[in-house]
Amino acid sequence: MSEPEPETPSSPYGPAPGGKSDTSTPASATPADPTPAAPAWVERGRRILLVAAAAVGALAIALTLVVIVLAVLGIRPGNGGGVVGDVGVGPQAWLSDTATIAAPVLTVIALNLLVWRALLRGLARRGRTEAVALVVIIALSLAVASWFAVAVLIFLWFIAFGVLGNGIA
């Protein structure tokens, strides 16, 4: 009678050197579980955020074109006051001044919507407490970054019109 070989305990690192080989398939050979599908509300929210970002971005582009057309017509931003109650200010100057501020703001809002769209799946996988904490931190960070982005865009906007101002009209 032959003695049975002692069984080696299975290890997550594979069979022991010189020991009996394990006939089961290793964990690396089995396909990894795909990431669980996101809930329906996450995909619906991502679609809504994409549509909203596209609409706001298109509005920002349209306002930029309005300012450029008004500048070609001789109504440059910042030249006419822009306060509605002023007697000498026409609607074109008010529109130019308002669009000059609104276009960069809408651009940054569209970028923020895209950021939230990108973060939605990851936030849905978190626990409620962790997700709320992340939303608060991200919202505060985006608020500060957005404020600086709008300031830089408006500054660059006025620099561009200052450099090109005499050549436009």
User: How do the domains of the chain map onto residue ranges?
Assistant: 43-75+96-165
Structure-model confidence comparison of residues 48 and 92, the more confident one = 48
Mean pLDDT of the chain: 78
Mean pLDDT within 119-127: 90
Tell me the pLDDT band of 136, cut-offs 50, 70 and 90: very high
Residue 137 Cα to chain centre, angstroms:
15
By mean pLDDT, which of 36-40, 117-121, 132-136 is the weakest?
A: 36-40
Q: How far is residue 95's CA from residue 63's CA, in Å, rounded to a whole number? A: 9
User: Distance between CA 93 and CA 90 in Å, rounded?
Assistant: 6
Scanning the structure block, which residue is given the tokens 């080696």?
8
C-beta atoms surrounding 25 within 10 Å: 8
pLDDT tens for each residue of 14-45 = 666 665 555 555 555 555 555 667 788 889 99
Which pLDDT value is given to residue 114? 94
